[in-house]
Amino acid sequence: MTGTSDTVLKVEGLQVSYGSIPAISSLDFEIKRGEFVAILGPSGCGKSSMLNVISGLLPPTRGVVEVDSRPLYDAGRHAPKLGYVFQAHRLLPWRTVKQNLELVLAASDVPRDQWEDNIDRLLDILHIGQFKNSWPMQLSGGQRQRVSIARALLVEPSYILMDEPLSTLDEVTARSLRQELSGIWARTGATIVFVTHSIREAVYLADRIIILTRGPSTVFENYHVPIARPRAYDDPRIAEVEADIIRRVEHAWGLDPIKQSEVA
């Protein structure tokens, strides 16, 4: 999509264990600048752990993770600009929505005179404009998650890590946000790693889907989505690809495929 093809994120022989219990057995993959990569894998296979390693929060037990050709864990102030939508929203409950967003903006390079506009625009896109001055406690789970998405996008990151960001939303809102996210990605050229349990969502959004095995995980397949953009969520080709992926993982994940597909 973006045309450039240089590798910006390299994961090599990544192993993650908690104590003596392995969560990720060995992962190898590369991600190119501006690529939209979705990660699919059964629950508990180590997807969140992988994002924590990529973000530099968790040191790998073995192996290397390089971002911009630097080992990430000790990148220090060279660490790349990152937006991370955690699986839990992680807002500060004693700050209003706006204050939560301003906190990260203050630590970013975004000029102060743009904050207000950027916040308003994003909250509108995410359909939560009226909650700007609310406490997180006053929001529903899905609304909080959207504030967390706004926070990740506001800092104008070159990498965006998203851990099931739309899983708490109703399907109508989720569809609208998928479309917005697709647009934001195309406009900003950010590199996105997107963990999801919805195969259709992955097919709709991603250039490539990295399918993991059951935990402790390895890469089961690098699946390039063969559908040109712009894509429509109801395009029958998306359903076809979804069915194809379900056929492939059915055996590897060893579960009833209907449960995994989360058919929208």
Partner 1 sequence: MTLSTSMQATTLSPRPKAGTMDRNIRILGAILAVASLFAIWTTLSITVRPWVPTPYDTVLAMGRHLTSQGFYANLFLTLGRIAAAFLAASVIGAALGIAIGMNRKVEAFFQPLLAMALAVPDPVFIIFAILALGTGEAAGFVALTLAVAPFVSNIVRSSVQARDKGLDEMTRIYRIPSDKAFWVSLVPQLVPALLTAARFSFALSWKLVVVVEAIGQPDGIGASIFHSFRLLRMRDVVAIAILFILLMQLLEKGVLGRLEKRLLRWRQ
Least Cβ distance, residue 25 to ligand ATP (angstroms):
11
Residue with tokens 């909080």: 144
* Residue whose C-alpha is closest to residue 205's, from 246, 237, 238, 253: 238
Q: Is 10 helix (H, G, I), strand (E, B) or coil?
A: strand
Selection from 91, 109, 111 nearest residue 101 by Cα: 91
- Between residues 128 and 209, which has the closer beta carbon with respect to ligand ATP? 209
For residues 2-31, which are near ligand ATP according to CB under 6 A? 18, 23
Using CB under 5 A as the binding rule, whether residue 217 contacts Mg ion is answered as no
- Does position 138 bind partner 1 by CB under 8 A? yes
Q: What token pair was written down for 202?
A: 């992955």
Q: Per rule CB under 6 A, is residue 196 in the interface with ligand ATP?
A: no
Q: Is there binding between residue 55 and partner 1 (CB under 8 A)?
A: yes
H-helix or E-strand spanning residue 66: strand 62-67
Omega cis (within 30) before 226: no
Which of 88, 232, 258, 263 is the binder for partner 1 (CB under 8 A)?
Answer: 88
Which is closer to ligand ATP, CB of 34 or CB of 216? 216
Which residues within the stretch 33-52 sit at the binding site for partner 1 (CB under 8 A)? 52
Identify the CA nearest to 219 among candidates 103, 105, 50. Answer: 50
| 55: contact with ligand ATP by CB under 6 A | no
- Other beta carbons within 10 Å of 136: 20
94 binds partner 1 (CB under 8 A): yes
Identity of the residue, 155 or 161, whose beta carbon is nearer to Mg ion in the bound complex: 161
Q: Is 161 in the site for ligand ATP (CB under 6 A)?
A: no
119: its two tokens? 């916040």
Adjacency order of strands within the sheet including 62-67: 70-71, 62-67, 7-18, 21-32, 217-224, 208-212, 36-40, 191-195, 159-163, 82-85
Among 15, 48, 52, 100, binds Mg ion (CB under 5 A): 48
User: Considering CB distances under 5 to 8 angstroms, the limit depending on partner class, which of Mg ion, partner 1, ligand ATP, none binds residue 46?
Assistant: ligand ATP
Residue 27 or 101: which CB sits closer to partner 1? 101
Residue 2 touching partner 1 (CB under 8 A)? no
Query: Residue 210: CB partners within 8 Å, gap ≥ 6?
Result: 29, 37, 38, 39, 40, 219, 221, 222, 223
C-beta closer to partner 1: residue 32 or 95: 95
Residue the block writes with tokens 């989720």: 174
Q: Using the rule CB under 5 A, is 196 a contact of Mg ion?
A: no
Q: Which one among 26, 70, 73, 79 touches partner 1, defined by CB under 8 A?
A: 79
Residues making contact with partner 1 (CB under 8 A): 52, 55-57, 79, 82, 84, 86, 88, 90, 92-95, 103-104, 106-108, 135, 137-138, 151, 155
Residues making contact with ligand ATP (CB under 6 A): 18, 23, 41, 43-49, 87, 215
